Amino acid sequence: MSNTWPEAAVMMTLSRIAYSSDIPGQLQNKTYATQGDWSVVWGPVDDSYGNLAYVAVSASTGKYALVIRGSETDVSFDTLYNWFYNLYVTWQSPWPYFSAQSQAMISYGSWVQASNLTFASWNGQTLGSFLTTTIPAGTTVAVTGHSLGGNLASVLASWISAQRGPQGDVPDPNTEVYTFAAPSAGNTQFANGFNGRFPTSFRYWNSLDAIPRAWDNLLELDWIYNNIGLPTPGWVQDAVDAMEAALLASEIYYDSYYLQPNGSGNELTGSASPLNTDWLGEVTYQHGGNTYLGLLGAPLVNSSLHIGVGALATGPTLPRPTLDKTKLPPIPGPKITPPGNSTFAYNRRA
């Protein structure tokens, strides 16, 4: 089959289908950018955190895709606020899978949730085992996800690549990464290691989406919709400023600062919601999977939510980090009041 859609549209469609109650059935839909060319070979499985993963293969190219859906199916500012605390963003753990970047670190919560997915089992085989022992060596594997799924995709891609090779820090031509609307998982050194390891990696973000501002440009939420006539509510600004103060205190403590991989990424120019929403409604609309498909010019996916928990089993897995709670920065940290200007988010890494 000749694929007439750009790879980004295909990967975003796979990511959007992850929210469906019938993933195998949705993949058969030939009107989508996936054109009925992909079929499930592992999963789908929900883990104990509510994150979902499945692996599909393209009949026309033989490429595999690991598709990750985060635990939240209706993302809003409240979700971002909960992620900040529930994902332990202010607690960082050293990431050992980029040997030339010894200072690479990622959030403790991102590591734990990525690790948990590798334990998920389908037909007696864990995801970690399938990815590292069943897919033939030298076969291309694309790792993709939307929202928190994109965050976990960047973590799992680097672990998978370390298991499958090539060894060392040379570029990996067989692992591709496509993330959409993802909050950052790690620090500057993680981003540098990621960029060097994956020559075929892309980060797509909507210019009006709040979620990709996490965590290195968080203060932009204080004015993100001013140009479309939706000033940020005072209580949201207060929450953002509190998160930024806690984040900065943590980053100074670790001397480790969050940074998105892929540089400035692939920005998609968003436009105001046609639904005449309020500020919170705009956040939800701009982050939506179908909004991203629309910005990519791809057909929208009609899907209902998929909920369930799969079994856990043993096998090759990403080990969880050890968290020494006696050596953690305070939360929320020293009382730091961010100045009310746009330079603060950038100057905090100076």
Specify the pLDDT at position 319. 62
Is 330 contained in some domain?
no
Q: In sequence order, what DSSP letters do the residues of 278-330 get, joined into one string?
A: -HHHHHHHHH-HHHHHHHTTPPP-----------B--SS--PPPP--GGGPPP
Confidence at 96, pLDDT banded by 50, 70, 90: very high
- For the ranges 63-67, 74-78, 130-134, 181-185, which has the lowest average pLDDT? 74-78
Angle, helices 108-119 vs 148-164, to 10°: value is 70
The structural domain count of the chain equals 1
Specify the pLDDT at position 300. 97
In the predicted structure, residue 342 carries a pLDDT above the cut 50:
no
In the predicted structure, residue 208 carries a pLDDT above the cut 90:
yes
In the predicted structure, residue 307 carries a pLDDT above the cut 70:
no
Q: Of all residues in the chain, what percent carry a pLDDT higher than 70?
A: 85
Is 345 contained in some domain?
no
CATH number at residue 152: 3.40.50.1820
Residue 290 sits in which domain range? Answer: 7-305
What is the pLDDT averaged over residues 79-96?
92
Is 101 contained in some domain?
yes
Task: Report the chain's mean pLDDT, rounded to a whole number.
Answer: 88
Is 335 contained in some domain?
no
> Mind listing the pLDDT tens digit for each residue in 10-21?
999 999 999 999
In this structure, the strands spanning 105-107 and 121-122 are: unpaired
Specify the pLDDT at position 336. 27
Confidence at 25, pLDDT banded by 50, 70, 90: very high
Confidence at 76, pLDDT banded by 50, 70, 90: confident
- Give the burial class of 123: count Cβ atoms within 10 A of its Cβ; 0-12 exposed, 13-18 middle, 19 or more buried: exposed
The span from the CA of 93 to the CA of 321, in Å, is 7
Is 110 contained in some domain?
yes
> Mind listing the pLDDT tens digit for each residue in 212-269?
999 999 999 999 999 999 999 999 999 999 999 999 999 999 999 999 999 999 999 9
In this structure, the strands spanning 175-180 and 141-146 are: parallel
What is the pLDDT averaged over residues 288-299?
97
Is 224 contained in some domain?
yes
Q: In sequence order, what DSSP letters do the residues of 49-99 get, joined into one string?
A: TS-EEEEEEETTT--EEEEEE-S-SS--HHHHHHHHHHTTTT-EEE-TT-T
Tokens (6 digits) for 82 = 């909960």
Specify the pLDDT at position 310. 36
In the predicted structure, residue 339 carries a pLDDT above the cut 70:
no
Specify the pLDDT at position 86. 84
Q: Give, in order, the Cα–Cα distances in Å from 341 to each of 142, 169, 338.
A: 39, 39, 8
Is 287 contained in some domain?
yes
What is the pLDDT averaged over residues 177-192?
98
In the predicted structure, residue 308 carries a pLDDT above the cut 80:
no
More confident residue, 78 or 1: 78
Question: Which residue in 79, 61, 81 sits closest to 11, CA to CA?
Answer: 61
Is 341 contained in some domain?
no
Specify the pLDDT at position 49. 86
Tokens (6 digits) for 31 = 């009107």
In the predicted structure, residue 323 carries a pLDDT above the cut 80:
no
Specify the pLDDT at position 317. 57
The span from the CA of 297 to the CA of 6, in Å, is 10
In the predicted structure, residue 122 carries a pLDDT above the cut 70:
yes
Confidence at 344, pLDDT banded by 50, 70, 90: very low
307: number of Cβ within 10 Å: 10
In the predicted structure, residue 146 carries a pLDDT above the cut 80:
yes
Specify the pLDDT at position 134. 96
> Mind listing the pLDDT tens digit for each residue in 159-169?
999 999 999 88
